[in-house]
Structure 1
Amino acid sequence: MVLDPLTARRRYSAVSFVFWLPIGLCVPVQVLLLTERGVSLSALAALFAVHSLTAAALELPTGGLSDVLGRRAVLAASGVLTAAALALTALGTTVWPLALAMVLKGAARALNSGPAEAWYVDTVHAAEGPDAALRPGLARGGAAAAAALALGTLAGGLGPWLLDRDGRLEAATGLPALAVPLLIGALISAFYVGYVLLALPEPPRPPATLRGVLAGIPGAVASGVRHAARDALVRRVVLTTAAVGSALGVVELLTPGRAAALTGSAGGGAVLYAVLACAGFCGTALGNRLAPTAARLTGSGERAVLAGEFTAVLGVALLCVTAATDLLAPAALGYLLVYVGIGAASPSANEFLHRRTDSAGRATALSVQSLALQLAGACAGVVASALPAGAAAWLPGLLGLTAGALLWTRRAPAAREPGAGPRPATAPAPSSR
């Protein structure tokens, strides 16, 4: 069954929303919960690096798995692992269970990094042909994910404060109130598994044995890597994603601690960070929705990416110069600009990626992109944690994002707007398909 593009867009948006809602619940409480359990900043950076490096190590194999086995099964597996990771984070009290939770979460992120978007693009192409406009649907999916993160972050930050203002919940159950959003997120992830299996139809695939599936993964991985290395425009998109990862790795590591320092307590920091993160994700949703308009007003998708990236650079610069001060308003504005700029740039950059990649390697190409995000985020977070507190700690994100923006100051090679038709990947599809 081939869905019409409008239905495909709605289901893609719904899948994006439900997957990211539990992650949003986790955002404002995870760092503070682990800090309350005695985990140091350097250990936190190491745990985040475990998450990012696990995702990085599995990005290409799981992207190849999606191209060989199918999108739906891989997405369902990501939901199962997310549920397990969130439950383990909520209940774990020592470093090793928390490290295992980060491994599971990284594996889930790798499994989810491309299949849903690849399913949407494949479905639209099957219904309308290769010249179908992708930017509006990609923008709506990104906006749905950002809205889920915003709603989840707000609920995750305010929920513990509302549930346990007097400390009775923890006294009665032994469970910190900061752990409750993680357990709720685990339940939502279980629901996500069922929705994916029911709502995302795929064309029948040839019966495949486990050996055949595993044998097809290296070919899919090699195809995606060769495509990203040989195609100059795809390479530019991947490098831009790495620059975004360096900024997000620093922002997400340093902001919760600064919020706690400003309020004087972990609970107050969770509330403040929840409000900031909610505003940031709403900014991402706004940027996503403005992406088609930005491309129209600037005259091309390339200039829309450039405008969005420089908006994010300005945001990180504000965070950097206000790091050693109590100036909350400029810092909050900088935080918002980071997410608005990234949200505005992403749909146009990804449309270039999809128009240069065919269906057989689409999920793998997205995994290459996500791999760049994870590796850059992990490296920037580790470097930031080793630098002195204050403005210096924000520099890895600022320098990385600036370098990514500068990539778009000259015209992209052979960049084409919708209607020009896709350019297939340079390598053939895996033989197992």
Structure 2
Amino acid sequence: MTTVTILDADTARRRFVAVNFLFWFPTGLSIPVQVLLLTDRGVAVSTIAALFAVHSLTAAGLELPTGGLSDVIGRRTVLAASGLLAVIALTMTALSTATWVFALAMALKGAGRALNSGPAEAWYVDTVHARLGPDADLRDGLSRGSAASSVALALGTVLGGLVPWLLGLGPDLGGRLERATGGFVTPLSVPLLAGAACCVGYVVHVLFALPEPPRPAVTLRAVLADVPRTVAGGIRLTTRDGLVARIMLTTAATGCALGVVELFTPSRAADATGAASSGALLYAGLACAGFCGTAFGNRMAPWAARRVKSGERAVLAGELTALLGLTLLCVTAATGTVALAAVGYVLVYIGLGAISPSLNVFLHRRTDSSGRATALSVQSLALQLAAALTGLVAGALPSGAVAWLPGVAGLAVGVLLWARVRVDRPSEHAPETPLVQRVS
């Protein structure tokens, strides 16, 4: 029988942080150049929007099945598969010139995103619980992992925008690269190819640095039967457990805020500068500041919980901070005050970053290893659906302050969810309630 050494909590935390950084850094590299590369390859703006819809719909459609798959066959296998799909998707996007290839790449990227949603965090919680028991402190590790994701996105965004600019300097390095590769590799392709290389490192790290107890061998037929049962158990928990339902609704409120912020901020940046190119540069700077704000909020979450003496109050404080920021964005949409809008933008991300670790501590106290990744996938799905629906509603409203109101209303609901919660300190460390019964 194969034995697996259970990592100590500090080692598990470091490896969890590394996994999050390695997965999200390639995404950051692609953010400044992906749309520009597609445009450079002759793809129309309307087609680009459809390509992003392919990604979003694929990720949303696979959220629950992939979460259930992780709970059935193990975290490491699913995480490695997500990395391999990311390698293929980024390489295809960097080198292709055909729209159908771009669509396939977006679908693969969405599938990889869904596979990654939950298993790494579930592995970390499982490992810490196996070492220290179900009452182990998770908030610091979760906050560091979330902060690592945000830092990776911020750093990747800066480098992804900087590399093509550097290749355009000096002795026409970008042009020489393009001519040497027959036009397949351009300066805008380089960040994506670098991201694919980083994803290879991610896969290696996952396979060798994330040990987990061996799971019973299962047949394909058993997997196909067990995954739907696990998913159904996750959905049942969100409707029967009041705390979990509150967590999911709070996550949906976060999605409402992000839906309007990500929809309107790029155009507001272009309006503020008077040109699309300079607006893109301003938006890249804002996005980097937002990711840094999220990382700051993540790292402040344990301190905030200690300061206000409960995770519930810490969530409320984060919700209020995000609501203040979004209200500033709404007001400045009418007044046009750019500096105040930038402050509001960063406050939104600081507040949302501060919420996440405390919410997930509560969630992990209500789940066990047999359904932990599924619960995280339900949470991710709630965020994506709320963001998509709010974006559709906001997009149909007249431009200006009114269009920001759906996001403000969503965050206000999030505040109300925690404003009247009775703080019962022992409840934060209540015994775990299984998400689903283990399948024999």
Can you list the C-alpha shifts for 1:173-214, whole angstroms capped at 9, x where unaligned? 145533322221121112111110010000011112222222
2:59 is aligned with 1:71: no
SS at match of 1:131: coil
Judge conservation of contact 2:88–2:196 (CA < 8 Å) in 1: yes
Taking the aligned partners of 1:274 and 1:161, their CA distance within structure 2 comes to 14
Contact kept, 8 Å, 1:288 with 1:343, in 2: the verdict is yes
| Matching residue of 1:154 | 158
1:402 paired to 2:412: yes
The DSSP-based 3-state class of the residue aligned with 1:3 is coil
Identity of aligned residues (%): 66
Unaligned runs of 5+ in 1: none
User: Partner amino acid for 1:227?
Assistant: L
Structure 2: stretches of 5+ with no match in the other structure: none
Q: 1:346 and 2:356 equivalent? A: yes
- Do the aligned residues in 1 keep the contact of 2:311 with 2:428 (CA within 8 Å)? no
Larger Rg: 2
Task: Identify which of structures 1 and 2 has the higher relative contact order when contacts are C-alpha pairs closer than 8 Å and 6+ apart.
Answer: 1
- The residue correspondences of 1:97-176 to structure 2 (distance < 5 A) are 97-164=101-168, 168=172, 171-172=175-176, 173=178, 174=183, 175-176=185-186
| 2:193 corresponding residue in structure 1 | 183
**2:220 maps to which residue?**
210
Q: Measured at CA, do residues 311 and 116 of structure 1 come closer, stay the same or move farther in structure 2, by a change above 3 Å?
A: same
Deviation track 1:339-365 (CA, whole Å, cap 9, x = no partner) reads 100110110011110001111110111
Q: What does residue 277 of structure 1 align with?
A: 287
**Mean CA deviation greater in 99-108 or 35-44:** 35-44
Q: CA deviation at 1:415?
A: 7.7
Question: What does the per-residue CA deviation read over 1:269-320, in whole Å, with 9 as the maximum and x for residues that have no partner?
Answer: 4432222111111111111111011112222111111110121122222222
Task: Give the Cα separation in 2 of the matches to 1:114 and 1:85.
Answer: 20
Secondary structure of 1:178's counterpart equals coil
Alignment of 1:187-206 (within 5 A): 187-206=197-216
The amino acid across from 2:288 in the alignment is C
What letter is aligned with 1:209? Answer: T
> TM-score, normalization: structure 1?
0.91
What is residue 84 of structure 1 aligned with on the other side? 88
Instruction: Judge which range, 376-385 or 186-195, deviates more.
Output: 376-385
Instruction: State how 1:263-342 maps to structure 2 within 5 Å.
Output: 263-323=273-333, 327-342=337-352
Is this contact kept in 2: 1:352–1:415, CA < 8 A? Answer: no
Residue by residue over 1:365-397, the C-alpha shift from the partner in whole angstroms, topping out at 9 and shown as x without a partner, is 111001111112222333344444433443332
Answer yes or no: is the 8 Å Cα contact 1:233–1:415 preserved in 2. no
Cα shift readout 1:9-50 (whole Å, capped 9, x = no counterpart)? 000001011111011112233344445566666655544333
Q: Does 1:253 align with 2:263?
A: yes
**Aligned in 2, Cα 1:402/1:147: closer, same or farther, shift over 3 Å?**
same
Q: 1:428 corresponds to which residue?
A: 437
Partner Cα separation in structure 2 for residue 356 and residue 92 of structure 1: 45
| C-alpha RMSD over aligned residues | 2.4
By how many angstroms is 1:106 displaced?
1.5
SS of the aligned residue for 2:294 comes to: helix
Instruction: Tell me, yes or no, if the aligned pair for 2:310 and 2:423 is still in contact at 8 Å.
Output: no
How far apart, CA to CA, are the structure 1 residues paired with 2:409 and 2:97?
Answer: 36
For 2:439, the aligned partner's letter is P
Contact kept in structure 2, 1:301 and 1:417, CA below 8 Å:
no
**1:45 and 1:382 in contact (8 A); partners too:** no
